[in-house]
Structure 1
Amino acid sequence: MAKLTIDKNLNTDNTYSRRQASLSSRRPGPLARSLQAATLALAGAALSTQALAEHDVKLGLMLPYSGTYAALGESITNGLKLAIEQEGGSLGGHGVEYVTLDSEANPSKAPQNMSRLVKGDGVDVVIGPVHSGVAMGMLRVAKQTGAITIIPNAGLEAATNQLCMPNVFRTSFSMWQNSYPMGQVAYDQGHRKIVTITWDYAGGKEDLAGFEQAFTDAGGEIVEQILVPFPSTEFQTYLAQIASIAPDAVYTFFAGGGGVGFVRDYAAAGLNDSIPLYGSGFLTDGNLGALGEAANGVQTTMHYAETLDTPQNQAFVSAYQEAYGEAPDTYAVQGYDAGKLLAQAYASIDGEPDREALIAALEAVELDSPRGPVSFSASHHPIQNVYLREVRDGEHHVTSIASEQLEVPDSACPMKS
């Protein structure tokens, strides 16, 4: 069964540790271990299969458990552990040991932290990160060591394109994948001249690029692209600029506190009455309570919505609420699918789950996920639905599938050459 190892960098006094410890089981006691050892010694090679099953799988969780992104790290971890608990707390008959390390969402520490998990703790699989800058450092170590890595959030395009590698998989998204479908949606809804706005950093620019590509290919015009210094949340000057341009609509990428501030300020300026607001799903995800009525009518595209009306999602939402006392979000689904990806892969392996066997098994997995059907491309990126959602009465209501089983551009992936 699963057991929890807390890295010394992790604050064990926080809510995460108390909740997660309750979902983990303990190591076998000394008597149980001695009996196991005696049995194996007597049985020898005839019990090699049993010996294999008693070899724990060590999962290294390199996620933020402090700072701005701590809630995201907790949601991903919750989803991951729920998925594995639903498999009896094991992966292909192997017990599971969790080694958690607080990434602090700090890119400068990423190579050292990744090396610590892989070389120091000897984990079998690394799950992380949230932050795309941290992912860059992790990918360098993954390439050097061959460590199997599952990315449950960071949306940088390069991870499953220019920097793709056989041992790296993603259960989340790319910035392009969530924004590209909205370009066609906005055009189909009658808009021809649009202003785009985001922070001046790589993630925001990648998101805008997807929307702008689809919108201009459809025949629309980007009349202005506004880049706000990161991580400023002072938007009044830019809102005045938008009002003076008077476009047909605005498309934006902001997240977290920036998303809350922008949507609130947009509504307070009265722009939502005359200039519809569109965005990537992260504009409103996790923020609906803070946004209140200011978010009503905002349309976003995303690979998940908590109100998705499918048996798989209803079962997931119910199980998550029972385990953690709150509704799941997109981050929880991404962690959950990382757990189910591992569970299916380990269960399919005949014999010892060495690195090559596990990679081959992971590549073959198809998930019947709460978000809908998910398979993996040659670059190990999820092929998945992207939904059009509208905020009404504090909920994301799915109005359509904006793009069905969307694949990402990955022609620069070395595995495809």
Structure 2
Amino acid sequence: MTAPSPSRRTVLTRSAAVLGAASTGILLPALVRAQTGSTRVGFMLPYTGTFAQLGVAIENGFRLAINEQGGKLGGREIEYFKVDDESDPSKGIENANKLVQRDRVDVLVGTVHSGVQLGIQRVARSTGVLNLIPNAGVHAATRNLCAPNVFRASFSNAQSALALGPAMVERGHKRVVWITWKYAGGDEIFEGFKEGLAKAGGTIVKELGLPFPQVEFQALLTEIAAIKPDAVACFFAGGGAAKFIRDYAAAGLKDKIPLYGAGFLTEGVLDAAGPAADGIITTMHYSDVLPTQRNKQFRLAYAQAFKMQPDVYAMQGYDTGLLLIRGANAVKGDLGNKQALYKALETAEIDSPRGKWTMSRSHNPVQDIYLRRVENKENKVIGIAAKALADSGAGCTM
């Protein structure tokens, strides 16, 4: 059974009590460490499996943001610690505790997989460690399990898909098949897509799914061909997304039934997907080719640092770093000053490569959602699908 979410007062009181205990010589590494010397940052990200490239991109982006500030947080040196979460929800609590209990990190940066984030969430809520989420869009993190010490720098799952249905209906595609992996992230992205499509007057004629991270799509593609919908909408990411795109084209569907993607279908996989991806339309809070000076600066700096082009995951890692920098600077590196730290994070306006965004009451970004089409291995922006879109934050009682 999940423990109830602590109030802001509870977390602050707990932190103050622990600081007092530390001053008497009692060591409580799970909750706090003396705010002298270096700041300890823990990465809990996937470094193996289908999401491995996502984890690497997030860490790269985060480190770039920090390095642009001289490699320090609020004037303090940084120590980094890493745990491979393996995209395995069953190990979520155990792996988060390695960073909090064993490595005594001041801030835990993680993760990608929504199921794994639920484990991190429990540890963050029970220990008071600052958790910055660079990707996982699981609703509970900023809804019913929200916490004063948990902030997301990416999106909520529904938020990433709400605008896709209306875009499809606007193009005359009302009878839609939905296909995704069946896990927390896929289910919640479907929730947003279903809501947006229904409001626009569209209908889901069939919902298809397979367990994460399986990539044997052929039987489902055969079913899609038999149904003959106006279009297909889907959610896949990483290596699985590249394979789905290629398999969709190989099945002869690419030129017959338009393919749309909610969220991350075409992120970081366009080289692997090749020409099969051309013409796919997606909704996303970022595009590689946003024509802003801020985005151009970020992309140049990332390419110079890592000898590769950044994607949305790298951008989210970068913004997670920017968010932490804002908080650390406000408290001059003393992350134990919880009240001032949280206020700085809550009121931050992040000048991001995606465009400026702010933090919602439940600690989720309020941001523009772009409409994009793949052309020659680029996600070209063809419009804004939604302006300053916020997640509902339903159930958050901070």
| Shorter-chain TM-score tier | 0.7 to 0.9
SS in 2 for 1:358: helix
Cα 1:260–1:59 shift into 2, 3 Å: same
Equivalent residue, structure 2, for 1:128:
110
SS in 2 for 1:369: coil
Instruction: State TM-score, norm by structure 2.
Output: 0.87
Q: Shift of residue 97 of structure 1?
A: 1.7
Instruction: State TM-score, norm by structure 1.
Output: 0.83
Matches within 5 A, 1:26-105: 55-105=37-87
**Amino acid across the alignment from 1:63:** L
- Correspondent of 1:106 among 82, 85, 88: 88
Q: Shift of residue 396 of structure 1?
A: 0.9
- Correspondent of 1:267 among 249, 254, 259: 249
Equivalent residue, structure 1, for 2:377:
394
- Correspondent of 2:311 among 329, 339, 343: 329
Q: Deviations over 1:163-214 (max 9, x none)?
A: 1110000111122111111011111112221111112222212112211111
Equivalent residue, structure 1, for 2:389:
406
Does residue 1:366 correspond to 2:349, yes or no? Answer: yes
Q: Which moved more, 1:233-242 or 1:139-148?
A: 233-242
Q: Shift of residue 352 of structure 1?
A: 4.4
Matches within 5 A, 1:233-248: 233-248=215-230
Does residue 1:313 correspond to 2:295, yes or no? Answer: yes
Q: Shift of residue 108 of structure 1?
A: 2.4
Q: Shift of residue 79 of structure 1?
A: 0.7
Q: Which moved more, 1:227-236 or 1:160-169?
A: 227-236
**Amino acid across the alignment from 1:288:** L
8 A Cα contact 2:51 2:239, kept in partner: no
**Amino acid across the alignment from 2:389:** L
- Correspondent of 2:329 among 347, 350, 370: 347
CA–CA separation in structure 1 for the residues paired with 2:144 and 2:69: 35
- Correspondent of 1:281 among 255, 258, 263: 263
Give the number of aligned pairs.
364
- Correspondent of 1:213 among 187, 195, 200: 195
CA–CA separation in structure 2 for the residues paired with 1:400 and 1:351: 40
Q: Shift of residue 356 of structure 1?
A: 2.4
Work out the percentage of aligned pairs sharing the same amino acid.
50
SS in 1 for 2:356: strand
8 A Cα contact 2:330 2:341, kept in partner: no
Q: Deviations over 1:102-156 (max 9, x none)?
A: 2222322222222232233222111111222211111111111111100111121
8 A Cα contact 1:169 1:380, kept in partner: yes
Does residue 1:294 correspond to 2:276, yes or no? Answer: yes
Unaligned ranges ≥5, structure 1: 1-51
- Correspondent of 2:133 among 151, 170, 187: 151
Q: Shift of residue 345 of structure 1?
A: 1.6
Q: Which moved more, 1:371-380 or 1:200-209?
A: 200-209
SS in 2 for 1:327: coil
**Amino acid across the alignment from 1:326:** M
- Correspondent of 2:183 among 196, 201, 205: 201
Matches within 5 A, 1:161-180: 161-180=143-162
Q: Deviations over 1:366-411 (max 9, x none)?
A: 1010011111001100111111110011111011111111101212
**Amino acid across the alignment from 1:198:** T
Q: Shift of residue 53 of structure 1?
A: 9.8
SS in 1 for 2:382: strand
Cα 1:238–1:109 shift into 2, 3 Å: closer
Q: Shift of residue 64 of structure 1?
A: 2.2
Q: Shift of residue 54 of structure 1?
A: 6.7
Equivalent residue, structure 1, for 2:210:
228
Equivalent residue, structure 1, for 2:29:
none
8 A Cα contact 2:274 2:377, kept in partner: yes
CA–CA separation in structure 1 for the residues paired with 2:228 and 2:88: 39
Q: Deviations over 1:62-117 (max 9, x none)?
A: 12223332222211111111101111111222222212222222322222222232
**Amino acid across the alignment from 1:393:** N
Unaligned ranges ≥5, structure 2: 1-33
SS in 2 for 1:206: helix
Cα 1:336–1:132 shift into 2, 3 Å: same
Cα 1:374–1:225 shift into 2, 3 Å: same
CA–CA separation in structure 1 for the residues paired with 2:348 and 2:154: 15
SS in 2 for 1:90: coil
CA–CA separation in structure 2 for the residues paired with 1:313 and 1:75: 16
Q: Which moved more, 1:259-268 or 1:332-341?
A: 259-268
8 A Cα contact 1:170 1:380, kept in partner: yes
CA–CA separation in structure 2 for the residues paired with 1:351 and 1:69: 32
